Amino acid sequence: MTTSGSDVTVESVVRRVVARHRGERGALLPVLHAVQAELGHVPQEAVPLLAEELNLSRADVHGVVTFYHDFRREPAGRTTVRICRAEACQALGADRLVTYTREAGLTLGETSADGSVTVEQVFCLGNCALGPSVEANGRLYGRVGPARLGAILNGTVS
């Protein structure tokens, strides 16, 4: 893994990120967030490198990566859409959005075959007075009905 010149190999990213967080106490979470921000996910080959750099066991690192919902082990689609399914959004029909997604041929927790969109569920986006809420590529939408969700999924609203 010594591709010359490239600074986006997993190894170079991991070492650079760890160096940046070296002085922080208990740095594994900030490091994982930073790795995912650069690579889009936390690839399996990053685990032994992180273990070595942070003086942890591979099991420790693997355990943390798999404990938290946020860390992806495979890349997501170009658009990531998260539908809130917590109580406040349930009370306003969040399930209609889930049904719509299903009828559009998408599966919660999966990426569409063409790699365009990943749809996930999330429990609370903190927009409980203006639900149902949906987040797309980090942007929050309130009062989302099926039609609006369709536009978000198609990327016509961004």
Give φ, ψ of 6 to 5 degrees.
-75, 135
Q: Which of 3, 44, 58, 68 binds another protein (CB under 8 A)?
A: 68
What secondary structure does DSSP assign to 50-116, as a single string?
HHHHHT--HHHHHHHHHHSTT--SS---SEEEEEE-SHHHHTTTHHHHHHHHHHTT--TTEE-TTSS
The closest of 5, 67, 12, 7 to 45, measured between CA atoms, is 12
- Residue 43 binding another protein, by CB under 8 A: no
Cβ proximity to another protein, 3 vs 123, nearer residue: 123
- Residue 52 binding another protein, by CB under 8 A: no
Interface region with another protein, contact rule CB under 8 A, candidates 6-14, 28-36, 145-153: 28-36
Total residues interacting with another protein, rule: CB under 8 A: 58
- Residue 126 binding another protein, by CB under 8 A: yes
- Residue 127 binding another protein, by CB under 8 A: yes
Rg (the chain; Cα; Å): 18
- Residue 37 binding another protein, by CB under 8 A: no
Q: Which residues bind another protein (CB under 8 A)?
A: 24-30, 32-33, 41, 54, 60, 63-64, 66-74, 76, 85-92, 95, 107-111, 118, 120-131, 133, 135, 138, 140-143
